[in-house]
A and B are shown apart, each in its own frame.
Chain A
């Protein structure tokens, strides 16, 4: 822990207040998505390579989001923004494809059916993430 992470005094952080809850939920998803993707790729990769690559991709997105939200500074803000946007696009696109063309995704991923298997949290999470990033955006901070 450096002086930068003392929380409320430094506005250029996202790991305080509601942000902590957000990071916690992202961390849980990062762990579960990584474990699931690792398991799928190790045991039944050949069944559905695309779905399993997608699982791995989702896991990486969650890891990047968790780490970048926890770090202070502008660069990490941009990384957070990119990760959350990718997540949002991912869950919407994959959710839509899995709904209209179930054959393309016979195997479940975190984002299938808009994250139904995970209580739709994957769909809500990027919205909350964007709201939080908007409230803590660097432009509003004193230079």
Chain B
């Protein structure tokens, strides 16, 4: 487990907690919940750039390279889709959808660390 994983862990969990609490409080998606998902996206982007630099420096990915890149690209797409969806239907359920992003990103980051 490296620094990137812990960054995703903290930001992902925070984002999930914010979104789920907002959902339980019956709030529609607002700036706070959308920004928390944006923060997850940002951390993942840093992870992506950091990984590209590490590979460019000659570091080897432990597992299958395309599996790793597949994971990180999928993880990057998820927050975008969730936010897009939450704008289409602004109900409290969209907050739960966005809450799922943080946990999913977390699981995927854990898997990326194994690879």
Contacts and interface: CB of A to CB of B under 8 A. Distances in A.
A39 interface: yes
B114 interface: no
Nearest to A24: B97
A28 B89 CA distance: 19
Contact of A24 (B64, B91, B100): B100
B91 A17 contact: yes
A18 B74 contact: no
Interface residues of B, number: 16
B93 A25 contact: no
A82 B73 CA distance: 32
Contacts of A18: 93, 96
Main SS of the interface on chain A? helix
Interface residues of A, number: 15
A20 B89 contact: yes
Given A28-B100, A31-B74, A7 B89 contact: yes
Interface string B66-107: 010010001000100010010001010110110010001001
A21 interface: yes
A119 B103 CA distance: 11
Nearest to A38: B70
Given A28-B78, A28-B104, A31-B74, A20 B94 contact: yes
B1 to A, nearest CB: 18
Contacts of B67: 39
Interface of A: 7, 16-21, 24-25, 28, 31, 35, 39, 43, 119
